[in-house]
Structure 1
Amino acid sequence: MDNKNFQKEKKAHWLSFELRGKTEETKELQRSEFFTSPDPIIARIKSGEFDRKTFLKLMGAGVAMTSLNCVRKPVEKIVPYVDLKVPDEGETYDFVKHGHSYYYATVHNGNGILVKSRDGRPLKLEGNPDHPVSQGSLSAAAQAAIFDLYDPDRAQDPASISGGKETKIDWATLDAKVKEALNANKGKTVIVTRPLDSPSTKELIGEFLKAIGGGKHYEVSVTSSEEAISKGQAASYGKALVPNYRFDLANAVLSIDCDFMGGWISSQEYQKDFSKRRNLRNGGKEVNFFVAAESVPTVTGSNADLRLPIRPGDQTKFALAIAAALSELGANTKDALNGATLSGLAGELGLDAENIKKTAKALWQNRGKSLVVAGGLSATTKDAVDLQVLVNYLNSALDNDGKTVDHSSPKKEGLANYSGNLKSLTDELKQGKVGVLFLYDTNLVYQAGETWKDSLHKAALVVSISDRADETALASNYLAPTTHFLESWGDAEVTKGIFSIQQPAIRPLFRSRSFEDSLIAFAGGSLGGESVYYEYLKKAWIKKLGSKQKWEDLLRVGTTVKASERKAAAGASRGFNRAALKKVSSSPAGARLALYEKISIGDGKGANNSLLQELPDPVTKVTWDNYVLLSPQLAKEKGIQSNDVVILKTDKQSIELPAQVQPGMHKDAIGIAVGYGRTAAGVVGNGVGKNAYALSEDGVFSGIAVTSIEKTGKTYKLACTQHHHMMSPGFGYPDRPLIQSTSIEDYRQDPASGKAESEIPKIKKDGKLVYAVGGNPVHEYPGYRWGMSVDLTACTGCSACVIACQVENNIPAVGRDEVRVGREMHWIRIDRYYIGDPDKPEDLQVAHQPVMCQHCENAPCETVCPVAATVHGSEGTNDMIYNRCVGTRYCSNNCPFKVRRYNWAQHWYNETGAQKGARPPRYLGLNPEVTVRGRGVMEKCTFCSSRIAEKKIQAKNEGRTLKDGELKTACQQTCPADAISFGNVNDKASEVAKLSADPRSYRLLEYLNVGPAVAYLTRVRTKI
């Protein structure tokens, strides 16, 4: 298929639903130097009357750690990731050199992490390449977790709480009060925690309860999908567990409302594994086929070859339709149908039966090498367990059980009865059976409703063990502030038989202590013969491993099983219990609501992190707020446009939020993100959006009937980045797409398929390559010449690169109002494009394109700068000299890629102008290797020049040149999909040089003849 026909067949790549057909408005946005909002409510910002306190308020209040001298070095022995001479206990740490960075292995939420630390300060988190889960990558939320360490809104002291107000106390007073209550309520103690993956913490809880005379431990989660999965496994196979899903072994994948790249179970691992099957460097021989059926557009669904929009509550019916289609192909799946037919089910779903048949055919042709998954908040319907049973049925019929569904090495064993635990706790509180109630890292008042305040007061004493005075803590009697994971010891069993160690990189910044150390103190100062948790943990692991040296080796690597030692799934297929199948109930017609989690804020725990609040959603590109997602069809029917404030009503609740019209949704689907509407998260998160948890009904988050949705007559400007920094492909040239696409079938015939022909003829003069325009000789770089390659086939749009760049380069968040006028400061943005007809959501595809400074050979920004603040480097980079910049913004006006950012405010300065990094202790997390810019300066991507300098100096001192792969930019290092490559293009054996010469390689806006150093590889998908 030729290029023009392919692009014509795919309609076109278009950025915005609102701007479709509005040619003049689109041209104006593409011409503009920077985005200027037409919204009058922020005219005060546009006029220049910017109040610097606006951003300072975002960073919060509180004073702690006003100088580096307050940072205490650890007393416990921590071990660096690299092989250094580590002193014995009691010796000094002379091996640590001031000004040098060291890395320490730890774990958080099951992900292996390397902590970059300098002079006692953790500065950056990276994925641990040895860890079987992270495999060297890290998600956006995990990257931003470094911000939580230096959050000034963390609880800094123990507190007594009365009437929702805190009174600071000391630990001795709190410990005495708790011990007194424990003695008076023997056998009535209840510990409520989030789901724990730490075997040592569970053992310690057991010893604590035994030491105080008995009690109970309940694991509780309002949003976890593990409960439905474990119950479905128990019903299907007789044993409750959460299997490990092997996306790296699957040729065909079907996801039913399962955002496995965005936060489901082990999303980082699954995204990494999935991307291995999108690697075209082997000639595209093993590219997978991926179908996503979802009610709310997700980052996972945006990567599907075929995306099928379904109505919330119809997930089980869709799984049944797949069973019907498989039955027609010869699969033994008739048991589940109960007389239902494919055509009938497709009609009820509002889907084309042919698309269901294509999906079933791909799964059937890859029996034993396919995978069906379902789950997540938007799949938590009243039939959530029945859905999991049907998924198990499909995987068994497809011979996937024991292969791509790994039950021999599960993620979790045992029944995850979180809702049952919550009900038991509620009943015991009502009956007065709870004496002392400990709440660790759970926020039930926020997630489960205000009625929990009354329930909590029925306990004799309530102690919240939390990192801040959140909604639940303020309804308790006491707050025991807990440490950040970078300040704590711990362990985790991330998959059966795979253990990881959590070691701190800094002593507690505040007067806080770990959950485990609090239990030891409450028990009387000793558990298991130890007075501190570090000794308890070390003793347990030395006993398990057999020697102290093995314990130190474990600390160094961080895990008992390295990524390279990870084995393929091996387990016999289990016999499926067909009696577990139930008849799928029909649901009435009409609009249905699905609550979902964003990859940034999640369940609300990250609400006080400004980096995450300002991260554009991968699909909607909206920052800061939550909103009501509507299909274009439903919006048209109701006369609703984006930014109209609507009131949505269910049988029991109502909520008022701005609307966001979202292409690709089922016409009767409505979505709202949870995690917003916090009232006690901190200065950043308080009052942002509305609390959607109130709309859930008895643990059901999807398929909730919407009785009405109407406009209120008000508008609210969402901080959406979609119309900002729009590139122009050249007016009058619709066949000049910025994202170039092809199919895997065409790629196998012609690797250059889908790529537009170059408009810049390359000619030689006197044996040298010259450009046709101007005829200037190509500059020669005798040493290094840096370049980058971005594989659009692999890129998932997860935005981990955006946060990694932000943390690495001291890029500030600017706040909702500034984003509204296009003043976000991200050095790398991800442009989202739609491919297809918005009136046919089942045919609509989504494409993502990371755009950073292209480091042009003939950079148009350099020629217009009157003070030579932007110049061409000796290694092919476009460099910024900040102390020369006077802020004319001519460079921004001349940049066709719209990648330069202007500092409109003193984001990192206080009111007096002294550089102190906003509020303490936030400044302790700034990267000392990167200049902190101030107001009036233009900035942009530097290809991580500080990393380049560091590695070059190291290589020079060792008398060698840099090796390929030794140097990685922040965005490249964190990318879970391995979509970004960087290196020396002069080295023809380097990966980036090979990819830049790949037949799929093209340059953005090549017709301008600016010679970008960033190459893009065409986006390849399987034909539907």
Structure 2
Amino acid sequence: MKKHWKSLAERNTKSDTHSKNDIPKGNLEQLLDIFDGDQSASKSNRRDFLKLCGYSLAISTVLASCENSVQKAIPYLIKPEEITPGKANYYASSYVNGSDYCSILIKTREGRPIKIEGNDLSVVSHGGTSARVQASILGLYDTNRYKFPKIEDTKASWEELDQEIRKTLEAFKNSNEKLVLLTPSIYSPSSRQIIKAFQQAYPNIDWIQYDSSSSSAMIQANEMCFDKTGISEYRFDNADLIVSFDADFLGNWLDSVEHIRQYSKKRKLSDANTSMSRHIQYESRLSLTGSNADYRITVKPSEQALLMAQLYNEILILKDKDNYQLTDSSEDIKELAKELWKNKGKSLVLAGENDIDKQVLVNAINFELENYGITLRVDKQLKTKQAKDEDMEDLLSDMKSGKVKGLLCYDVNPVFDYYKGSELAQAIKKLPFSVALSKEPNETSDLFNYIAPDNHYLESWNDLEPRTSRYSLMQPGIRPLFDTRQFQSSLLAWMGKETDYLKYIQNYWEQNMYPLQAAYPNFISFWQHTLQKGVFEPKTDSVFDTKFSHQNMDELMSEISKLSASDGVELQVYESIAIGNGSMANNPWLQELPDPITKVCWDNYLTISPKQAAELDLETGDVVELNSKAKFPVYILPGQANNTIAIASGYGRTVCGVVGKNVGVNVAEWISFSGQTRQNITGNVKLQKTGEKYELAMTQTHHSMEGRAIVKEATLSEYLNNPAAGNEVDHEFDNAGIYEKPNFPDHHWGLVVDLNSCVGCGACSVACQSENNVPVVGKKEVIRAHEMSWIRIDRYFSGNEDNPEVFFQPVMCQHCDNAPCENVCPVAATTHSSEGLNQMAYNRCIGTRYCGNNCPYKVRRFNWFDFTKADSIPNNLHDIAEMTIDLKRMVLNPDVVIRAKGVIEKCSMCVQRIQDGKLNAKLKGKPVKDGEIKTACQQACPSGAIIFGDLNDKESQLVKETTSKRNYHLLEEIHTLPSVSYLTKIRNKISNQT
């Protein structure tokens, strides 16, 4: 049969269900001859050609309609009571990924989770989230996940797997051969009880906890100093002065969501509150925390221990206590000691390195400053990290020597992220028995005999205790999509017990949690209310009695006094804000999230100081070889300490989905073991320029201030003298336009961003992406400035390039009342609503991009390609089947239109949420209350930097912020009248100091 087609794409498709016999032969052949360039057919006159074209259009429409797949809507015959089609349900739960924790709400539509929100009822996370928490929803629909159990890489049933594993476990038990259960830190009370019961059933099994990002030094230092094993609870909201030595507590150090909320709470300014904390940061790499500091001092990692010892010594001198013979302290250290002494009981000193000596020093400093019990407590501990590094060292040694005969590995990937991963891989291959309890394939599970796939956390039940006496529950938002089973149920099955983990949790809580309260008369009522809230935080009496005691303090200070800074180049390995330890490397939302500082995505790279780059004749994008082992592209980073370099871990995955595979380079081998802990610092490394070039995907280069006052700043002293400091020319252009100021009689929606609260973490960007179905475009398109993010966080430097000040500014559509985009659209696709929103009619947009060219804020995005497959038509039955089971489409928000290629899109201020809020208020017969409607970016922000509301509501928080003297709009001189405004950045420093 001769194939008929209306485009080259259709002509090249494999399927062909129609022939030329379906229409009159002569006309079709004549038309095809004309299209094929046949000379005899081209003699037809113009009128005949147009007739044929019109005829062919009608025929092609018929053919296309025949090829479209049939979309079937299956109604509820028996509708679940809790589900109303078109209305979202929310379930309180908890996010867990290794040591990452957050109390959350799961938003579901028609039984499928589509969005993660923070739980306001939690005193730990306070309703905040991180970029990784927001992006975790995508992992549920990852087709790379294990879909069924496996025995020797062959599909098996759970019955077959359980039978074989139980038989093998009994055999090893009878022969008393050592097995090891390797897990991340387990802070689930019921899970810990199951593991202990599992060990009782099989006494030959040892349990080892392993954290890819170790805090072992803090645990051991607290044990040495206070006889309490664990990590202290930190309270940044009680600290007037924060001094941090390389602790990136706003980034990846311990619990950033909680720390950001506490930190920003102490730095918010208003007419009623004119005080803010002071933050001083010592570090080598310009971190997210350092970029937010009031003062930042660049030091090499090898210099920090001596500085901390000198600081401790100066505090002892101020207290008239016995001190130590050290080299003379600098004036800066002496002044810092005095300032800390003035703030004793209200200060906080931190150390980020996994070094026991440094952690002992900060414990001693905080004790002498009387901070324990106020800004930090040892009796109330963080429980998300419990692993000790020595245990992993012993495990590898025992595996290599043959003492360990089998390994059960749950939710960790040490072959990838352990510094001796290659040795561990060889040891695993020699084991006669290995079981992986992982969600998806990774470098470690790929080597195991048995695969018992674990559920995604959104499919799981669990309980957690992330802080002492701070409990939360995890409940599923959907049934397991694949034939998977929870880790806890697998252990119960291998013990021959009932595998219903939910019943196990309920029994545990009835025995242990229910007696801790008196509000509910029976357990069923208590359980239902707790499950609905998601958290249980009983009141516990805690008598604080912390006494510092370190028998080897004299020896420690003596050893530190002999230290001197290294002359060579020092390498620091750190976790990226987006990818973390690499377990979420297959998540495209995180891969495309720009690093807050460098604004690079889809890669890791080597950061180097401008001075050192000049010495080595390097530019950003040059490739260097590190110690003749690995090659990295260079990024010249202002603020990097000289003779130091830094590289992010978590990249270089080899057993991963298509998104994260072979992205970047694995740097785990550059971590070392020193004393009792793993160290992420390597000294005396060598760099060699290769002459090669590598193109990095950077988003910050797409936008610039161009000398305009986009970011406004002042010091605290200037602000106290003049609340409009840094913003003196505000509102100068109120009457600059030729148009009358528009009037909005009902609502006038607006938004304020407090630059003093925004830390640049990126949670808002991923939340917007999740809420509004914003597509990922990939590295090549980002390089071409085609990224689609509706909200970007611009990063600006000022001052000296060796140690600049850093400013973050979220920028989205400004919803201008005099919008330049609206005047130039030839088809009125972008219009202004009666409530002050700049709207986009996607079906009307023809892609001229005039609006984008005329937007002074460059916040409009153009769909160059069909990233969302919104207008894709399947060509055959195979393609139809593929679209049917495309799980990633299940994450799409049905309240937001899926945009096809060729249209402009941009921030809508979450108009779907606005409409939902208005409808709910209408049903209640009440006006919309301030705070009832929240945009996705506002709700996700852990710092509370974004305030949304009605500018017509004079009692709203938004109006209070807009009337502040710190409030300003971007590019006021062009009189676009934006509905988005900003509050000036204030730093707590003396005006004449840098």
TM over 0.5: yes
1:640 equivalent to 2:618? Answer: yes
Q: CA distance change for structure 1 residues 919 and 903 in 2, over 3 Å: closer, same or farther? A: farther
Q: Partners of 2:319 and 2:897 in 1: how far apart?
A: 62
Which residue number in structure 2 is paired with residue 674 of structure 1? 649
Letter in 2 for 1:655: A
Paired amino acid for 2:534: G
Which residue does 1:497 correspond to in 2?
469
Provide the secondary structure at the position in 1 that maps to 2:701.
coil
1:129 to 120, 136, 147: 120
2:773 alignment partner in structure 1: 810
The Cα shift of 1:258 comes to 0.7
Distance 1:578 1:371 in 2: 24
**C-alpha displacement of 1:995:** 0.5
What runs of 5+ residues in structure 1 fail to find an aligned partner? 1-48, 50-65, 74-90, 344-352, 729-733, 763-770
1:805 is displaced (CA, Å) by 0.4
Higher relative CO (Cα under 8 Å, sequence separation at least 6) belongs to 1
- 1:400 is aligned to 371
For 1:812, the aligned partner's letter is: P
In the TM superposition, 1:307-386 aligns within 5 A as: 307-327=296-316, 330-331=318-319, 335=323, 337-343=324-330, 353-354=331-332, 356-375=333-352, 379-380=353-354, 384-386=355-357
Counterpart CA distance in 2 for 1:918 and 1:942 is 29
Counterpart of 2:666 in structure 1 is: 691
| 1:276 Cα offset (Å) | 0.6
1:243 counterpart SS class: strand
**Equivalent position SS for 1:863:** helix
Deviation at 1:405, TM superposition (A): 1.3
The 3 A distance-change label for structure 1 pair 917 and 945 is: farther
The 3 A distance-change label for structure 1 pair 984 and 967 is: same
Match of 1:1001 in 2: 967
Q: Which moved more, 1:319-328 or 1:504-513?
A: 319-328
CA deviation map 1:986-1024 (0-9, x unaligned): 001001111011110011000001101111100001115
Q: Structure 1 residue 298: deviation in Å?
A: 1.3
Please state if 1:168 is matched with 2:155: yes
Which residue, 128, 133, 146 being the options, matches 2:137?
Answer: 146
Counterpart of 1:754, as a letter, is G
Q: How does 1:756-775 map to 2 (within 5 A)?
A: 756-758=728-730, 760-762=732-734, 771-774=735-738
Counterpart for residue 873 of structure 1: 833
Q: Which moved more, 1:230-239 or 1:934-943?
A: 230-239
Q: How does 1:888-903 map to 2 (within 5 A)?
A: 888-903=848-863
Q: Deviations over 1:595-624 (max 9, x none)?
A: 000111001111110000110100010001
Cα distance in 2, alignment partners of residues 630 and 342 from structure 1: 28
Deviation per CA, 1:192-251: give whole Å up to 9, x if none: 1011111111100111222235421111123222x1101111122222221101111000
Q: CA deviation at 1:299?
A: 1.1
Distance in 1, matches of 2:306 and 2:262, equals: 28
1:1013 aligns with 2:985: no
Contact 2:106–2:113 (CA under 8 A) maintained in structure 1 = yes
Q: Aligned to 1:517, what secondary structure does the other structure show?
A: helix
SS in 2 for 1:435: strand
Structure 1 counterpart of 2:459:
487
Query: 1:275 corresponds to which letter in structure 2?
Result: S
Name the SS of the counterpart of 2:686 in structure 1.
strand
The equivalent of 1:852 in structure 2 is: 812
| CA distance in 2 between partners of 1:407 and 1:855 (Å) | 49
The code of the aligned residue for 2:389 comes to: S
Tell me the secondary structure at the aligned position of residue 542 of structure 1: helix
Contact persistence 1:321–1:342 (CA under 8 A): yes
Aligned to 2:686: 708
What code does the residue aligned with 1:196 have? I
Q: Call closer, same or farther: CA 1:321–1:72 in 2, change over 3 Å.
A: farther
Give the whole-Å Cα distance in 1 for the aligned partners of 2:591 and 2:812.
Answer: 21
How many Å separate the matches in 2 of 1:918 and 1:279?
49
The answer to whether the 8 A contact 1:870-1:881 is kept is yes
SS in 2 for 1:124: strand
The 1:967–1:648 alpha-carbon spacing in structure 2 relative to 1, beyond 3 Å, is: same
Match in the other structure for 1:346: none
Of 781, 786, 790, 2:753 maps to 790
Is the Cα contact below 8 Å between 2:472 and 2:536 reproduced in 1? yes
After superposition, give the CA deviation of every residue in 1:816-850 in whole Å (9 maximum; x if it has no partner). 111111111100001101121114x2xx2111000
In structure 1, C-alpha distance between the alignment counterparts of 2:261 and 2:71, rounded to whole Å: 40
**Counterpart contact for 2:490–2:499, Cα < 8 Å:** no
Q: Quick check: 1:210 aligned with 2:200? A: yes
Quote the residue 2:24 is aligned against.
none
1:408 shift after superposition: 2.2
Paired residue for 1:662, among 614, 626, 637? 637
Alignment check: 8 A CA contact 1:299 1:796 kept: yes
Q: Which of 569, 572, 580 is equivalent to 2:545?
A: 572
Cα offset for 1:773? 2.6
* Structure 2: runs of 5 or more not aligned: 1-8, 10-69, 516-522, 875-879
CA change 1:195–1:997 in 2 (3 A) is same
Deviation at 1:911, TM superposition (A): 9.2
Matched-pair contact (CA < 8 Å) for 1:284–1:748: no
Task: Give the superposition deviation at 1:173.
Answer: 2.1
Q: Deviations over 1:779-806 (max 9, x none)?
A: 1111010010010111100111000000
Other structure's SS at 2:809 match: strand
Q: Distance in 1 between matches of 2:151 and 2:619?
A: 48
Aligned length: 892
**Alignment partner, residue 239 of structure 2:** 250
- Between the aligned partners of 1:541 and 1:712, the Cα distance in structure 2 is 61
User: What is the TM-score with the length of structure 2 in the denominator?
Assistant: 0.87
**Closer, same or farther: CA 72–172 of 1 in aligned 2, 3 Å:** farther
Please report how far the alpha carbon of residue 918 of structure 1 lies from its aligned counterpart in structure 2 after TM superposition: 10
Residue 409 of structure 2 corresponds to which residue in structure 1? 439
Kindly indicate whether residue 385 of structure 2 is the aligned counterpart of residue 423 of structure 1: no
Distance 2:106 2:607 in 1: 38
Q: 1:982 aligns with which of 948, 964, 967?
A: 948
Task: Rate the CA distance shift 1:571–1:282 in 2: closer, same or farther, 3 A.
Answer: farther
Superposed displacement of residue 570, structure 1:
7.0
| Alignment check: 8 A CA contact 1:310 1:669 kept | no
Partner of 2:270, secondary structure, is helix
Aligned partner of 1:293 in structure 2 is 282
- State whether residues 378 and 546 of structure 2, in contact with CA within 8 Å, keep that contact through their aligned partners in structure 1: no
Instruction: Work out whether 1:907 is the aligned partner of 2:879.
Output: no
Are positions 1:863 and 2:851 aligned together?
Answer: no
Aligned residue number for residue 108 of structure 1: 95
* Aligned-residue offset at 1:68: 10
Pick the structure with greater CA Rg.
Answer: 2
Asked whether the 8 Å contact 1:887–1:937 carries over to 2, the reply is yes
- Alpha-carbon shift at residue 429 of structure 1 (Å): 1.7
Letter in 2 for 1:491: D
Equivalence for 1:593: 571
1:241–1:69 distance in 2 versus 1, CA, 3 Å: farther
- Measure, in 1, the Cα distance between the counterparts of 2:116 and 2:759: 21
TM-score of the aligned structures, taking structure 1 as reference length: 0.84
Q: How many Å separate the matches in 1 of 2:766 and 2:952?
A: 29
Q: CA deviation at 1:727?
A: 4.8
Summarize deviations over 1:274-326 as a string: whole Å, max 9, x none: 11101102544330000111121111111100011111233322312322443
Q: 2:524 aligns with which of 540, 545, 548?
A: 548
* Distance of 1:332 and 1:834 partners within structure 2: 42
Deviation at 1:423, TM superposition (A): 1.9
Out of 197-206 and 208-217, give the one that drifted further.
208-217
Which one-letter code corresponds to 1:190 in the other structure?
Answer: V
Alpha-carbon distance in structure 2 between the residues aligned to 1:111 and 1:794: 20
CA distance in 1, matches of 2:72, 2:342: 62
